[in-house]
Amino acid sequence: MTSTEFRSLPGVERLLSDARLAALAGAYSREAVTGLVRRSLDDAREGIKKGQSAPGHDQIVGAVLELAARSWRPWPRRVINATGVVLHTNLGRSPLSRVAIEAATAAAEGYSDLELDLATGKRGSRQAHIGEILAQVTGAETGIAVNNNASAVLLALSALAAGREVIVSRGEAVEIGGGFRVPDVMRQSGAVLIEVGTTNRTYAKDYEAAVTERTAAILKVHPSNFAVTGFTHSPELAELAEIGRRRSIPVLHDLGSGSLLDTAKYGMAHEPTVQDSVQAGVNLTLFSGDKLLGGPQAGVIVGSATLMKRAASHPLARAVRIDKMTLAALSATLMSYLKGAAESEVPVWRMISTPLDALEKRAQEWSDAVRSGVVKRSESAIGGGSLPGQTLPTFVLAIAHPAGGPDEICAKLRRSPVPVIARIENDDVLLDPRTVMEGEDKTVIEALRSAIGT
CATH 3.90.1150.180 describes domain 80-89+349-452: yes
In tens, the pLDDT along 142-200 reads: 999 999 999 999 999 999 999 999 999 998 887 766 666 888 888 889 999 999 999 88
CA 35 to CA 379: how far, in whole Å? Answer: 48
Edge to edge, what strands does the sheet with 215-221 contain? 142-146, 299-303, 284-288, 251-256, 215-221, 165-169, 192-196
Single-letter amino acid, residue 11: G
- Name the CATH architecture for the domain at 98-345: 3-Layer(aba) Sandwich (3.40)
Q: Higher-confidence residue: 231 or 348?
A: 348
The answer to whether 155 and 307 are in contact (CB under 8 A) is: no
The answer to whether 66 and 406 are in contact (CB under 8 A) is: no
What pLDDT score does 2 carry? 66
Q: What is the mean pLDDT of the chain?
A: 93
Of 38, 41, 35, 39, the residue nearest 56 (C-alpha): 41
Tell me the average pLDDT across 291-303.
97
In tens, the pLDDT along 253-262 reads: 999 888 999 9
In tens, the pLDDT along 86-134 reads: 999 999 999 999 999 999 999 999 999 999 999 999 999 999 999 999 9
In tens, the pLDDT along 375-431 reads: 999 999 998 777 777 899 999 999 987 667 899 999 999 999 999 999 999 999 999
pTM over 0.75: yes
User: Could you tell me what percent of the chain has a pLDDT over 90?
Assistant: 85
What pLDDT score does 228 carry? 74
Q: Where are the domains of the chain?
A: 2-71, 80-89+349-452, 98-345
The answer to whether 234 and 170 are in contact (CB under 8 A) is: no
CA 293 to CA 295: how far, in whole Å? Answer: 6
In tens, the pLDDT along 327-385 reads: 999 999 999 999 999 999 999 999 999 999 999 999 999 999 999 999 999 999 998 77
What pLDDT score does 197 carry? 93
| Sequential DSSP letters for 127-186 | THHHHHHHHHHH-SSEEEEES-HHHHHHHHHHHHHTTSEEEEEGGG--EEGGGEEHHHHH
Residue 414 backbone dihedrals phi, psi, to 5 degrees: -70, -25
